[in-house]
Homo-oligomer: A and B are copies of this chain.
Amino acid sequence: MLVRINAAPRMQIDGQLAALAGERMMSCCEFRYRRGFEIFGEGEEPEYVYQIISGAVRTYKLLPDGRRQINAFHLPGDMFGFENETIHRFTAEAIVETNVHLMRRSSILEAVRNGGAGTKDLIKFVTQNLQHAESHMLLLGRKTSLERVTAFLLEMDERLQHPDVMILPMNRRDIADYLGLTLETVSRALSILRDEGLLRFDGNTQRRLELVDRGALARIDA
């Protein structure tokens, strides 16, 4: 499940983790998780904080009967897994083969205790998560299915820095569980947007798509 890969030093892809660690690179290792495998589970004790080098991760909560709500997707550069409490509040899984940097949670807590420079970054990190959660509550509580799917496309477009062709790592069920819909409804909404000429499926696979009219999409996302 956990596969250690080459241990050669490697540049970090951005400064989030480094700032939190006080630029000291302490306790950093690189790991690879295969597609579909669990990185940590809800209720487990948090040992590491993670930063994605390549790949994609979903974090989610489950109800006892299996209903799933994905809180967030994490893409290259993103940090996840920090907990202030003694247990993880959700599960994290690799959506595709994923390489992560990890560092010991204890190092970060220590840095904060010592009034380290990373404290401000930590507050910023948690605040950004909170902001995302707040706008996602508005989406889940009050938006229609077409608005939700459109908002998802625009969010991914922005986080991938407006690529010509967007390659989605997640399947329709993941998108549905992120948006509080079913996979069929997600598929139907995408078909509507395609039929109206706002996006194109690229080539033979439905995970590559091109946003043709971002303005019109932004108008749909209330």
Residues of A within 8 A of B (CB): 61, 63-65, 67-69, 71, 84-85, 89-90, 112-113, 115, 119-120, 122-124, 126-127, 129-131, 133-138, 140-143, 177, 179-180, 222
Q: How far is the CB of A176 from chain B (nearest CB, A)?
A: 10
A12 to B174, CA, bound (A): 46
A134 to B70, CA, bound (A): 10
A115 to B123, CA, bound (A): 13
Contact A68 to B142, CB < 8 A, known contacts A119-B112, A131-B89, A222-B63: yes
- Contact indicator A67/B142 (Cβ below 8 Å): yes
- Contact indicator B131/A134 (Cβ below 8 Å): no
A119-B119, A123-B126 are known contacts; what are 12 more A-B pairs with Cβ within 8 Å? A63-B143, A69-B138, A71-B134, A71-B137, A84-B123, A84-B124, A89-B131, A112-B120, A122-B123, A126-B130, A140-B180, A141-B180
Closest 5 CB pairs of A and B: A115-B115, A141-B180, A133-B133, A140-B140, A84-B127
Contacts of A133 in B (CB 8 A): 130, 133-134, 137
- Contact indicator B180/A134 (Cβ below 8 Å): no
Contact A69 to B112, CB < 8 A, known contacts A89-B134, A133-B134: no
A13 to B143, CA, bound (A): 38
- Contact indicator A142/B69 (Cβ below 8 Å): yes
Closest to A130 in B: B130
